[in-house]
Every structure is written in C-alpha cells, then in structure tokens.
Amino acid sequence: MADAVNNPLPIVVLISGRGSNLQSIIDSVAAGDLPVEIRAVISNRPGVQGLQRASQAGIFTRVVDHSHYPDRAAFDKALQVAIDAYQPELVVLAGFMRILTPAFVHHYQGRMINIHPSLLPEFPGLNTHQRVLEAGRAVTGATIHFVTEEMDGGPAILQARVPVLAGDDAESLAARVLEQEHRMYPVVIRWYAEGRVRLDTERQVRFDDVPIKRPRQLDSEADAPC
C-alpha cells in the first residue's frame, strides 16, 4: 500500500495533446490527495500543451516522436526504453493517441491503464461523441480500464455516466464527459496506489481483492471520492 509521504507510487504519464487529464492528476498530487510521484510525462508529439503543463509543475518531460521511427514496433521499443528508465509501477495513458503493439502491452500487463470517453464496450475508437449522437443514445460517459491487446477492450475498472442533452453537439457533449474524466482518473490511480484495485492472472479486475462483474460507478455510494 502506497504512503503519500514516505512511499508514493511511481508513475509515468503518456500524452499526445493538451493534457487536461494530466492536469487533474497533477492537481490531485499537489493537493495531497494522490499518493503518487509523477516521475515523467512522455509525449509522442513535440510541442503539445501537456508538456508545458508538466514542465510548469516541475515534472521531467520527454518526447519520443513516432514519426521518427520506421514502424509501430520500432516506436514501441523506443517508448518502452524511455518509460522503463523512470521505473514506474503504473503507466497512465492520458490522451495518448497511439495503437500499441501486443509486445508493448504485454510488458506492462496489469500496470497500464487508459481512459476512454464512452461507456465501454460501446463506442470504442475515435469520433466517439459524434457516434453517440448519431446512435440516439440518451446516456454516455467515460471508462477507465486496464490496457490489453484489444483497443479499448481491456477489463473496465470505473465508469461515470453522463446524460446526452437536447441540443448537444459533439463538442458540448465532449466537454461534459471530460469533466467526469477529470474526476475519475485520480480516483482510480489512488485505488491502484493503495492496493485496492488490480488485474489478476485471469485478467479479472479485483477490487479490495474481490472480483468485480461490472465496472464500479463513480457516483455510487461505495465509490464516491473521499
């Protein structure tokens, strides 16, 4: 179990863009609510806002530009070397827009989580909010899951539900879903740091060492942030 003062959980955060979820993690650490040490923020794109957010918080940053590698496997090998130099116990994908190779995913199995702006398994992949609107759904949300070889298909840990309002477009819906993402990531990272959530050898999520049949819900009485 991580201790916020003496033994914070070392993590590395991977980004590709503005880093708003990264900022929610940084803010939670600064407030003393999250027992982790962000050892580095790594981006596959140079010059993005998320790198500025990390630098302003005094966090090491690094760019591993995917365009400099001949194929996905070569990029993933370089990325793995960069991550492992910081010896994280958890890798957090926060808007990291790359499909990862099976070898890379296997290396971090049970130690890598991702957030996706839908109630998985519905609407994996890109253009999520537009697809939700086109399908006429009344409710959408976000999901945090362990990363496996299947894109957006890993075992889900936590979800938050967001109503689709009359007059919503993809941009307005995305903004409300993102508000919940910012609440969710510190909760799940804290659970992991405290040893409350893990992925077992059968790829089953365990919460307080009990297998869960469905994702936890952010606003249920048992899962309200505290």
Q: Render pLDDT for 54-111 as a digit per residue (tens, 0 to 9).
A: 999 999 999 999 999 999 999 999 999 999 999 999 999 999 999 999 999 999 999 9
129 occurs within a structural domain: no
119 occurs within a structural domain: yes
How many Å separate Cα 109 from the centre of its chain?
14
Domain count, the chain: 1
**In whole angstroms, what is the distance from residue 15 CA to residue 51 CA?**
8
208 occurs within a structural domain: yes
Q: What is the pLDDT of residue 5?
A: 54
167 occurs within a structural domain: no
Domain that holds residue 39: 9-123+142-162+178-223
198 occurs within a structural domain: yes
137 occurs within a structural domain: no
Looking at residue 115, which CATH number applies to its domain? Answer: 3.40.50.170
- Cite the active site residues: 116
Bridge-based pairing of strands 197-199 and 205-207 is antiparallel
170 occurs within a structural domain: no
**In whole angstroms, what is the distance from residue 163 CA to residue 176 CA?**
9
Q: 135 with 159: CB under 8 angstroms?
A: no
172 occurs within a structural domain: no
- Mean per-residue pLDDT pooled into runs of 10, the chain (226 residues): 70 97 97 97 97 98 97 97 98 95 96 97 94 96 96 94 95 96 97 96 95 89 41
Q: 217 with 161: CB under 8 angstroms?
A: yes
Beta-carbon neighbour count of residue 102 at 10 Å?
Answer: 12
Which pair of tokens denotes residue 176? 């409300």
